[in-house]
Amino acid sequence: MYTAARVPNLSIVAQGGIVVGSLCGVSTDGLHVVGTTRNNIILVTEAARLENYAHAYTGNPTLIIHSANTMPIGADQWVSLASAIEHGCLKTGTGGQIMAPFNGVVYLDTAPHAKAVQGLGAYHEIISVNVASDTTAVTTIVGSILAAAIRVDEDITGLDSADHHIKLGIVGTTAKYCDAAQGGASTRIDGNTKNFYAGVPLYESVGLILTIDGGGDNIPNAGSVEVMVMYVVQDNMADV
């Protein structure tokens, strides 16, 4: 363990555990760690333990996590978490923020006392087309669809000669969200044929399907389609 005393920032290194910086103490609710000058707690690798990233003073204690890159490359490669008094604040020094929950849904607790939860969900898969039918099951989404897109990933082949379409929708409304046309008579729908939806949010609770139509023989012998859907889901916290 590396040790230090009364430094502007409390540093945490990869090897040996926590470097105790300015002040720390144990209260009845847990371990309190305090920076006396800049209120920053910085997590870095061992190689960067002595780097000065020149993070500014923060009125509220801030946890800053750096990438494995040392200076100068890693100067802006950080994410920070802090309280902004009335709000929580998550920032990055460069780039965006990636949220990758296992179930694909990010929940936003909009009414904690009522346990009502709204979440942003994303579906993204490459679907092999059904070679025994003109329709292919995709997924069931319960929520309001905000945007959707389809793109032929692998040529859809084995059709008769016509201007075929690949559509994303539901039973009874096959082109509810997307309708991508080949654009001329062909026995295939070419790769990268695509279409998107970004209209009024529409609530769904039934399965989405891909449908091929436009010809006399719409049953393919091969092909795949990339499907992307963004939606808002409503759920009960007890079921999450």
Is residue 68 located within the same domain as residue 125? no
Is residue 76 located within the same domain as residue 157? no
CATH number for the domain including 217?
Answer: 2.60.120
Is residue 206 located within the same domain as residue 153? yes
- Tell me if 106 is assigned to some domain: no
Q: For residues 11 and 21, what is the distance between their CA atoms, to the nearest angstrom?
A: 7
Is residue 140 located within the same domain as residue 82? no
For residues 189 and 182, the answer to whether their CB atoms sit within 8 Å is yes
Q: For residues 229 and 59, what is the distance between their CA atoms, to the nearest angstrom?
A: 41
The reply to whether omega before 8 is within 30° of 0 (cis) is no
Q: For residues 197 and 167, what is the distance between their CA atoms, to the nearest angstrom?
A: 11
Q: pLDDT tens digits for the chain (240 residues)?
A: 334 333 444 444 433 334 444 455 556 677 777 665 678 888 888 888 888 888 888 788 888 999 999 888 888 999 999 888 877 888 999 988 887 777 766 666 655 444 445 677 889 999 999 999 999 999 998 888 999 999 999 999 999 999 999 999 999 999 999 999 999 999 999 999 999 999 888 888 899 999 999 999 999 999 999 999 998 876 543 444
Task: Note down the domain range covering 156.
Answer: 120-239
For residues 225 and 139, the answer to whether their CB atoms sit within 8 Å is no
pTM for the structure as a whole: 0.58
Going through 129-172 in order, the beta strands assigned E by DSSP cover 135-140, 143-157, 165-170
Closest CA to 11 of 58, 48, 37: 48
Is residue 226 located within the same domain as residue 151? yes
